[in-house]
Amino acid sequence: MSEKAVGIDAMEIHTGTLRLDLAETYAPAKDDDPGKYTKGLGLFASSFPDVYEDIVTMGANAARRLLERRGLTPADIGRIDVATESSFDNSKPVSTYIAGCLEQVYDEDFHHANKGERKFACISGTQSLDDAYNWIRAGRNRGRKALVVATDTALYERGDPGEATQGAGAVAMLISEDPDLVELSTAQGYGSADETDFLKPNQQFPSVDGKRSVQVYLARMREALMDYESVAGDTHPDDFALVPFHTPFPGMVRKAALLGFRHVARDTEYEDRLAEEIGRQPRREAFDDVGAFQDALSEYTDALAETDVYRDWYAETVEPTLELSRYCGNWYTGSVHVARASGLLEAAEAGRDLAGARLLVGSYGSGAQAEIHHETIQPGWADSIRALAVKDRLRDRYDLSFEEYERIHDAHNHEKETDVDALTTPDGEFVFDGWGRMGERKYRYV
């Protein structure tokens, strides 16, 4: 058994090359107030794939940049796990396509690497991290590292309330011993139940009960936090420098963070400090009636949201994790990993010294499962995260008109036959290159 720290050594993010501005382009076309998107959902723009982009190209492009940046070749990688809920094949995993792409640009192959594909809505990226961690911890990696790629085209049916939260992109993560970015831990908590909040029964676009999915997210996250505390001990608001959550849209995290803070602040000096201003948290045993207790609790929670104590905590530990998401939308499996990257990037840019500090990471997948674990930030974190060029890539996206957005959405709709020209010109990247004789997708490096 290896005793060394195991965790995320480095990461890369590849965004779809198109951008839909929600306030300027989407809201007027829908005849909506832009505030619904920018303030309510907390989103300014979505990332979209051009016609030559899909989950394979985005994943392979992120993975290639990651390997290049770390000076690695296929011989260094013993495992490639892909997490996605946008897969197009029920048998052949996306990881084989991504390995095939990478083999086009390396002299070596990945024949020695164990490859798979993980599915559990948005939480499978975190589950793939676990798989990689366990593989290294068990000493089965023969000195090699694992590549985890979370890649999705998170598209909804046109007109679905989820349409505004769409996004497309991939996160590639290198899992190794002595990581530069964060050490993963064995302390984990789960909240898992058979739910039908969001599903795709052999269909491309999801069937979503949006309002219910928000409630299920919160309920499962609460269970996961309590389960985490049963392993790690009681939590305290000062325990964590950043709290990245799965971010389908930042407004969702705003709700989860408030309930999370209320829970971890209970019976701490934070509750004492707040007592003068808004009273103490209502306790169930003080109420005969459950309805009265719930009313008191929601009144307390509304008041808590307005306090400086809560707002300061939120501004430092949660707000930085939402910065990238506001401009790229939901990337499903990649979303919580974008949140981690965003928090660390903002912290590095602000000059915060976080080596040795902890992250509390809250992942969620519909269907449904939440998982909470902590990670310890490593001494090399700031250089590792600053190497991400994600903000430049987000800025350089092609800005879609609404008509172009409609055409591009159709081009990615499996039910529609379309002949849509690309809006951008790929350069130094993998592209979709048509279909093979067995219905397989083909790729080329240009």
Sign, Cα dihedral of 280, 285, 286, 292: positive
Choosing from 12, 14, 53, 85, the catalytic residue is 85
Of 57 and 213, which CB lies nearer to ligand COA in the complex structure? Answer: 213
Residue 112 as a binder of ligand COA (CB under 6 A): the answer is no
Residue 205 as a binder of ligand COA (CB under 6 A): the answer is no
Closest CB to ligand COA: residue number: 40
Residue 213 as a binder of ligand COA (CB under 6 A): the answer is yes
> Minimum distance from CB of 331 to ligand COA (Å)?
12
In angstroms, the Cα distances linking 115 to 102, 119, 317, 440 are 14, 14, 35, 18
Per the annotation, the verdict on 101 as an active-site residue is no
Integer Cα distance of 19 and 396 in angstroms: 9
Per the annotation, the verdict on 14 as an active-site residue is no
Integer Cα distance of 194 and 105 in angstroms: 43
> Minimum distance from CB of 30 to ligand COA (Å)?
10
Among 28, 35, 233, 356, binds ligand COA (CB under 6 A): 35
Per the annotation, the verdict on 246 as an active-site residue is yes
Residue 40 as a binder of ligand COA (CB under 6 A): the answer is yes
Residue 200 as a binder of ligand COA (CB under 6 A): the answer is no
Integer Cα distance of 341 and 186 in angstroms: 21
Of 219 and 423, which CB lies nearer to ligand COA in the complex structure? Answer: 219
Tokens of 83: 């997490």
Q: Are 374 and 185 in contact (CB under 8 A)?
A: yes
User: Dihedrals φ, ψ of 155, to 5°?
Assistant: -105, 140
Residue 311 as a binder of ligand COA (CB under 6 A): the answer is no
Interface of this chain with ligand COA, residues 353 to 412, rule: CB under 6 A: 366
Sign, Cα dihedral of 156, 160, 162, 167: positive
Task: Quote the DSSP letter at residue 440.
Answer: -
Stretches 158-166, 226-234, 236-244, 256-264: which one binds ligand COA (CB under 6 A)?
A: 158-166
> Minimum distance from CB of 339 to ligand COA (Å)?
13
Choosing from 246, 337, 373, 374, the catalytic residue is 246
Residues in CB range of 432: below 8 A, 6 or more apart: 51, 52, 53, 54, 56, 57, 441, 442, 443
Q: Are 209 and 160 in contact (CB under 8 A)?
A: no
Residue 335 as a binder of ligand COA (CB under 6 A): the answer is no
Interface of this chain with ligand COA, residues 232 to 291, rule: CB under 6 A: 248-249, 251-252
340: left (phi over 0), alpha (psi -120 to 50) or beta: alpha
Q: Are 441 and 54 in contact (CB under 8 A)?
A: yes
> Minimum distance from CB of 290 to ligand COA (Å)?
23
Contact residues: ligand COA, CB under 6 A: 33, 35-36, 39-41, 161-162, 164-165, 208, 210-211, 213-214, 217, 248-249, 251-252, 366
Active site residues: 85, 122, 246
